[in-house]
Structure formats: structure tokens, C-alpha cells
Structure 1
């Protein structure tokens, strides 16, 4: 197949751009677990809990022992990965520590952090603004124009701006409410950060003036049903002043931050035509029935995008579509031009019950051959879904990512705790993000053909790599070795328990 494509490209019957798209599409459909790559923060479980049958080194490594809650990957070189933990620590990783990921000299490669931002002391009720976070990290993001700065939000009710080079805080913004997520505007003419908090209003922070300059307040459908907390926010990559937000009440709202009354649209799952459909005439009176007219469109105040909390939003890289998800276990694709529900059915496989933001990723359109691909963290697995028809392209599962329980070292208590191994975050590795694509128009970085990285509640950061010619045997060997070690360890544990639990008597 590859030889025929190379021949067609050489004789001119296949355009080089089409050849690249076919190849990246093939790689995209071949993603699988890469257990050879591990992230190690350096912490170890206490000796008294290791037991006589200690785990192998590769199986006792953690990025954050208390669980990984957020990831961010810079889009210019695809090199620096930032992780945040439930213990309020932040770590920076260099993905180019492994010079040649496809040819390892050992059974696994261990990434070590470039720097670590430790949790701030929580003894004082009013910590110093220069201190790190006190509670769990909820979201991380790089500065959109320069990877030398990144932002973090936390349950300690603050948004912080950091220097990537020094890992020191450059600014702290107190929002007086738990911050579930944030999004940095991709527009260069205004440096606004939208924050979704426990408060119903979306808070806008201006990095230039170091102040929360505006609150986007959503009108309630009734006085007895306030909108509730904002769980997801996302800026349009094509309209610099358009912001989408998703809230506990199941509503997805579109805002224009330039307007005093900023609400532009309220997406309705029952609307297959769209708010701005040309055949829809505005009513003669705008005052009745709970409807309103904003910018030529009709807003029904009771419209809902999801039955139950809506907690995930992501735009396509060209801004043509908006994807949302909620606790009703539905993923919906919206036409950004009209606001209509495209009615794509993603089937019964979707699982979403966590109260918090769901970090979805849309693969850049230039990399997909036929249709856009959505990367969806589906509780304990990762789904690659076609946005056009909702079909599953790939279902990513790896060692330790099943639907069972995962054990990890609980450093705060010095013991071991079983937790459901939920996928908390996922990032796409792309380089050359200076173009229109918000995720990087080139798949992978300088040392790898591509990659996904996911954070998990068991404290691991897992890598997912595409199959490449010549690397299949090595990956299969590594997986076989891991499975064989797990099988032997279980057999030894069972034999040990049976011997220790049996009373031995000696005859006279």
C-alpha cells in the first residue's frame, strides 16, 4: 500500500498534501497503548507496604501519587508537557528526553520531571499571592502565543500565571469560588481568560490589567432554577469574541464578550434548524413566552443542550462546529453558523458521570482523510469517534486502564488505596501550532510520529502511540513481558496467601 502511494506521488498522480493526509489518517487509526514510556515523579511507597513480593520498578512509578487531574501540552514544538495532581503539585516534563522512542535499548523508558511546583502550606488562612496552589489542580493551559508561560486553576479559588522556564508564579487572581476550568482566548488583541467556577456567572480575567473585569451572567428560565456552576468554557478559534460555556443546568450558552448583555445564543437539543435559520421569522413581540431576540436570532430561555449537567466543550480547529457532552451520556455536534443540532448519534458507549470538566480533543482537520475525529475520555478508556456519523474509530485501552479498580500509593496516608482508574485528562501531541489549528497542524513532535497522553486517577500518565513499520514487534514484546510479569506475580501472591493462611501440624 505504501509503495503504491509513493509511486503515485512520484509520478504526480497523487498530490503531496493528499499523500500526507492519507498517511496521517492511517497513523491516527492505529493508535494503541505504549506501556514502555513511564512518568516518574521520584516518590516511592513506604517500605512497610511493599511486602516481600515487591513490584517491579516499571510498575511502581507515578507522575502524581494522589492522582493526575490535569494535563497541558504546548503546541509549538510538542515538547513540554505539564501535569497537575490532586495533591496540588504541578510538574513539567520534557517529551524529548527520549531521543528515539521507536528504538529503546531497555524494556521501558522513564521520564523524569524538569521541575516540580510543590503544594503551598495551608496553615495560613490567607496565603501569600506568590505561593503555589493549596488544593487540587483542576485545569492547565499554555499561553496561546508563547510556551514560556502557562496558567493553572485550582479548588483553592485561584487562577495563577506561571513562567515555564523558572516554574515561578507571575500572577495570582482570586476568584472567590472554586474554579472548575478556564480557557485562554486565542485572540491577540485581548488577553482574556474565561473561568468556569462554582458561581453561575462566567468570570473574565484580563491578564493585562490583572483584574477580573467582567462577569457574564446567564438569565434563569425561572427564579426557582438558577443556572448553577459553570463546568466548561471554550473560545471560538475563528471568532475572537465568541465564548461558549456549559453549566450544571444542562445549558450551553454562546456569548459575545464585547456586549454589555453578552448572551447571543442558547443551544437547544430539539432544534434541528438553528437559531439563525434564514427561514425562521422573529416574533412580532420579544417580550412574551420567555423568548428573546439577540442579534437576529431567537433564544428560548428554557432551551437545554443536555438533560443533566453539561460538562464538556470543544471547537473544531476551524470554528465551524462546537462539540458538547453532558451527564445524559450524549455527545452533540452543533453547527456554529446556525446553532442547530446536527443530530449525530454517537451510540450507547458514551459514559460521563463525573462532576467536573471533560477534556475532549478534536484532531486537526488537516490530518483526517474523510472526517474529523473526536478524542473522548470515556471514564476508564479513550474513544476515537468520527464526528460525521458517530462511529467508533478506535477504543484505546491498556494495562491498568480497565474497568476494574487500580491500586496506587497514597502518599498522604502512607498506605495503599484502591480507586476507580478514571481518565481525567487527555492531550494531543502536535507541533507547528502557529497556524490556524489550535492543536498543532503537524502530528507528533520532532522525535515521534504522533501521540496522545492521558492522565489517570491512579497517578499515571499514559502514552498512546500510532503503529509504525518496524516497531510492532518491540511493542508486542513489551506488552507480553508486562502481562507475563503480572501473571507470575499473581501466582506467587496466591501461593503465599495459601501457605500463610494454612495451619501446619507436625507429626510425632
Structure 2
């Protein structure tokens, strides 16, 4: 109604709709991923082979990493705890309203030439989906051809690798790796060598994230509880440290000396426990960090100020591994109303980024799998913990501003990898907005013009609906 009367412009109306859709994500069990491995799922100590669906896994040993190419959003790559890598074509689904089981279009099996231990992180080339990168506990970083599913290059870092990051905007093609070693190696994919190491952390590095605005700025988090900000062009590289107790953030908690150099406070810590999660908002305005203290902090990227957003006691973070989280792409919601998607052990929390309120919880349906009995007569127990999440937006872009896909068969979705071997899909429940829902969204968005027009309409209807007598 408000759009038809001209009270809401097309841009505002689009953001209202996509904001609403972000709150309507739910489990989509009709989408399944069959990696070709067979066995029997065990529910609460009882084996059940009567349901074919319970014997389908993406990675029977456990799915540990996910990535979606950001251009068409067509190829999803997954990594397993058994060192296997599989590629999935998300356009295999001909009719999104009907159940569909995806089959891998390419499989990389464990071997001395590929990976030997569990996959820790996956990512696609920033400007070309023809290549993707993988890291593993086997201390290697590898570059793969997507189309040929073939190894292109391999780098041995000599230390267990927890995570890696490649800039979404830079042309330098440097991969920042978080390893068991306290230095952060930068691997140059062009030259095939480690050209630089960033030193300063007091232990293993569990999180790395490049700025989406400044191509030479990198954030890293470690077991020492610190989050360090680097400019790799500088001799010293370090330009700031985030401090959870600082709500002013004077240039990344540093003090500018008379010589023009920034002096860091050595005691500055972002968390009181290991930091294993880092991400930026798409516009580069905010940095989000997560740690084993079960806290999520949101920082002003320009100053290093802790915005003091409180996510409450619901946050769970216990894994000694890098945690993938992401924010809703810029343009989906009104400025200052971005959402954070957080893998909270066995559920995904969708939270308001700036005040920490939980918008919705994404939880699976059906009985939980307690164990797996494989065809080789072996049996193992599993925990249905989420190990990785990935976003697929409008037009297929992993980072574009939209929820419902345009011109593709499958709607916008969130995908999650689980240690029980499953890859699960979460899609918005498409339903029409009634007038009350639209008015609530307008109120949240602060559309003063629409509210004033509605108030005048109410006054007019009130006057026209009753008889007025003059005496």
C-alpha cells in the first residue's frame, strides 16, 4: 500500500522486503548432498536403515569447510575431515519447489599429492572462479583448477594451518595464513613463495581477514587474545591493536607520538581468550571478532573503537579452529541495520549486528544423528556441530546485495557444513507481507515520511467514518 501511494521509494521498498526475507530463513531439508558414500545412521543408539535419506552424506567422515564462488554462485566446494574435497553444481536443481539431491561434479580424494589430513579452510579466487584455494592440517596450501578439478600449485608452510584469507579487492594475490606458528606468512600466488611474515602475536593464529576497502590492510587474531591490524606496505606493518576496554578507539588504540609514529599499548586485548573468528562488513566500516570467551565484539574500523554491542550469554564458541561468520551484504538492509550470521555450535544465530539482539535461530529438523556405521563395519560417534557456513545471494553472488536469486533455479540460501557429514541448506520462506508487517518494517526503518502520511490517512478516515454535528 505504501509503495503504491508513493510514500516509499523503490530502494526503500526493496530493502524492506529483503530485510523481511532475512528473518524468514528456515531449514530446507528437501535439498540434500550425496557424496556417494554409504552407511547407516545411528539415532540415539539405534541403527536405522529404513530411510534412504539417513544414509546420505556429503562427507561421511565429517564436512569441515565450505566456499561458494561469488560470481554466479553456481559452484559450491566442500572439504572433509578425511582430506577429501568435492565440488557441487547448485544449478543441478531444476525445480526449487521439489526435493533434490545434489551429486558432486568433481571429487578430490586424499593422497600424498593432494591433502593427507582434514581440510581447514576453502576459498575461491577473488576475481576468477576458475581457481580455488584449500588449506589443511597437513601444513600445505594448495591451488586448484575448478573446471578441471586439478592441482595447480602447492605450498608447504611447515606448520599446521588453521585458516587463510585472500583479499576480495586486491590485485596482489597474497594469501594470509593463520598457522600454529605465531608469525603470519603471506604467500604470493604469483611468485609461488612466502614473501613476508608478520610477527607480533604470542601464539598460534586462528583468524585472518583482509579489509574489503583497503587492499593492503589485514586483521589477524590469535590465541593470545589480541586482534592486530596490519598495513603490509609499512616496514613495521603493525598499525593497531583492538582493545575490548576502549570505547573511544583513538586510531586503533594507539597513541600518536611527537615523531608521528603510533605507539601501541602492549596490554591491549580484544578478548580474554583465544580469538578464532574475524570478518569485516562488506563496506569495510566494521570489524567483527569472536573468541573463546563466548563474546562477539563489533569494532569501528576507522578508529578501532569497541561499539559495545552485546550479544548476551547465548553465544557458544568452543572449537580450537577458525570460525566462519558473515554479515548481510551492504544494501540488503537499511544502513546501521545489518545482520550477523553466527554458527552457534548446532544452530545458526541471525543477530542484529549493532545491538546484538537475536532476530531468529536456524535449527535443523528431525532426529539428531548420534553415530555412523559405515559399509566397512566401522562405527564412530558424531556431534552435529556446524563447522562452516557460506552465503549465496542474489544473482548468485556470494557477496551481492540480494536474497532471492535472479534468473537461477535455486533461491538465495545459506549453506552449513556439519561434523555429522551433512551439508544443509537454509532458504527464506517466501510469503506475502500483510499491511501490519509492512508498517512494522517501516517503523523499524524510521521512514518518517511514510509514518506522517499514514497518520494523516488515519485522521482522514476517522473523520470520514463518523457523523459530525455542529451546534
Q: Do both share a fold (TM > 0.5)? A: yes
Q: CA deviation at 1:325?
A: 0.3
Cα gap change, 1:316 to 1:47, in 2 (>3 Å): closer
Distance 1:271 1:456 in 2: 36
2:349 aligns to what?
383
SS at match of 1:367: coil
SS at match of 2:388: strand
Deviations 1:311-364 (CA, angstroms, capped at 9, x unpaired): 000000000000000000000000000011111111000000100001001111
C-alpha contact (below 8 Å) 1:266/1:303 kept by paired residues? yes
C-alpha contact (below 8 Å) 1:150/1:164 kept by paired residues? yes
**Is structure 2 residue 106 aligned with structure 1 residue 115?**
yes
Q: Which stretch of structure 1 is more off in the superposition, 156-165 or 182-191? A: 182-191
1:44 aligns to what?
38
Q: How does 1:257-296 map to 2 (within 5 A)?
A: 257-276=232-251, 282=256, 296=261
**Is structure 2 residue 226 aligned with structure 1 residue 251?**
yes
SS at match of 1:351: coil
Q: Which runs of 5+ in 1 are unaligned?
A: 121-126, 220-226, 285-292, 471-508
1:215 aligns to what?
197
Match of 2:401 among 435, 441, 451: 441
Q: How does 1:37-436 map to 2 (within 5 A)?
A: 37-45=31-39, 54-101=49-96, 103-104=97-98, 108-120=99-111, 127=112, 131-218=113-200, 227-276=202-251, 282=256, 296-369=261-334, 371-399=337-365, 406-409=369-372, 411=374, 414-431=377-394
Deviations 1:399-451 (CA, angstroms, capped at 9, x unpaired): 258xxx633436496333222211000001124588xxx72223243223321
**Is structure 2 residue 4 aligned with structure 1 residue 7?**
yes
SS at match of 2:412: coil
Deviations 1:172-231 (CA, angstroms, capped at 9, x unpaired): 011000110000122343110100001000010001101111100116xxxxxxx11000
SS at match of 2:154: strand
Distance 1:465 1:48 in 2: 27
Q: CA deviation at 1:388?
A: 1.4
Distance 1:47 1:98 in 2: 25
C-alpha contact (below 8 Å) 1:37/1:110 kept by paired residues? yes
The runs of at least 4 aligned residues of structure 1 exceeding 4 Å deviation read 46-53, 410-413, 431-434
1:287 aligns to what?
none
**Is structure 2 residue 20 aligned with structure 1 residue 26?**
yes
Q: CA deviation at 1:149?
A: 0.6
C-alpha contact (below 8 Å) 1:433/1:441 kept by paired residues? no
1:462 aligns to what?
424
Distance 1:47 1:77 in 2: 34
Distance 2:47 2:272 in 1: 51
Distance 1:6 1:76 in 2: 31
Q: CA deviation at 1:296?
A: 4.9
Q: CA deviation at 1:151?
A: 0.3
Distance 2:399 2:57 in 1: 26
Q: Which runs of 5+ in 2 are unaligned?
A: 433-471
SS at match of 1:132: coil
Distance 1:88 1:70 in 2: 10
Distance 2:331 2:185 in 1: 33
SS at match of 1:21: helix
TM-score scaled by length of structure 1: 0.80
Distance 2:11 2:42 in 1: 58
Aligned length: 428
SS at match of 1:365: coil
SS at match of 1:354: coil
Tell me the C-alpha RMSD between the 2 structures.
2.5
Deviations 1:106-159 (CA, angstroms, capped at 9, x unpaired): xx3211111110111xxxxxx4xxx21011000000001011110000001000
